[in-house]
Amino acid sequence: MTADPFDLTACAELVRRGDMPRFRAAMAAPVAARRVLLPLYAFNLEVARAPWVTKEAMIAEMRLQWWRDALAEIASGGLVRRHEVVTPLAAVLDRESAEQLDELVLARRWDIYRDPFEDDAAFRQHLDHTAGHLLRAAVRSLGAVPGDEIGEAGFALGLANWLRAVPALEAAGRVPLVDGRPEAVRGLAQEGLDRLRAARHAGVARSARPAMLALWQAEGVLARAASDPRRVADGALEPSPFRDRLGLAWRALSGRW
């Protein structure tokens, strides 16, 4: 299946409007890699916001089920529904990625309800099935084999984005952290930094590097949270615009992430 240029443009516009960090990361990647990354990021955005566009739990469940059905079609290798995101997504996913992304959709059910995570293991699984599986799918679709280092990087990226979202999640009546004490948040952020550094030490295949551009903000976010955990609740983890632009440009040019 070949992606229609109009679908890719639609995916790019969705990501631009709804997930600027990943849009900027994708646009910093080579053109060929954008054809892989933009449908994946558009899919992730549509699934992530599905539970939030309605207050009716049943409708939210139905929206997520629609994406599960689409992924099942892709995994089967048969006829796939025509859709501006699903169609280009089917052009880049293999069966394994489609099945893992089904777990990503299931993880998003947490956003529908107000129950806290059962325990730390459930929280970590949520990060792995969302940010981790998305990163694995991107790496695999770019022609590389995701190993343990992608799981480490996915944890760091997922945690950084999660800590940034804490104020909004709490305002919406969710309980985003299993242990919100400053010392626990500091330890969690430091773990994210350690796992990011371990992933960098292990390295990734050259073909996978465009997918890793999505991590360009993660180290700074985690470092700020580890240095002063109060910044998490205050929503003060964002980098300065100048350093942010410079950091992405440097990583895109150097190939380092």
Q: What tens-digit pLDDT sequence spans the chain (257 residues)?
A: 556 788 999 999 999 999 999 999 999 999 999 999 999 999 999 999 999 999 999 999 999 999 999 999 999 999 999 999 999 999 999 999 999 999 999 999 999 999 999 999 999 999 999 999 999 999 999 999 999 999 999 999 999 999 999 999 999 999 999 999 999 999 999 999 999 999 999 999 999 999 999 999 999 999 999 999 999 999 999 988 888 989 999 999 998 99
Answer yes or no: do 155 and 53 share one domain: no
Specify the pLDDT at position 1. Answer: 54
Are 20 and 83 contained in the same domain? yes
Residue 251 maps to a domain: no
Same domain, 105 and 53: yes
pLDDT recorded at residue 2: 59
Does 67 reside within a domain?
Answer: yes
Q: Is residue 71 part of a domain?
A: yes
Residue 150 lies in a domain: yes
161 within a domain of the structure (yes/no) = yes
The reply to whether 24 and 96 lie within a common domain is: yes
Q: Of 65, 93, 113, which closes a domain?
A: 113
Tokens read off for 211: 């997918």
Range of the domain at 46: 1-113
The domain boundary, picked from 90, 113, 136, lies at 113
From the list 50, 43, 52, the residue with the least C-alpha distance to 100 is 43
Rg (CA), the chain: 18
Of 113, 135, 157, which closes a domain? 113
pTM: 0.96
Number of domains in the chain: 2
Domain co-membership, 197 together with 146: yes
Total residues belonging to the chain: 257
The secondary structure of 127-169 as a DSSP string is: HIIIIIHHHHHHHHHTT----HHHHHHHHHHHHHHHHHHHHHH
Which residue shows structure tokens 């990943």?
22
Select from 44, 26, 46 the least CA-distant residue to 36: 26
Q: Is 176 contained in some domain?
A: yes
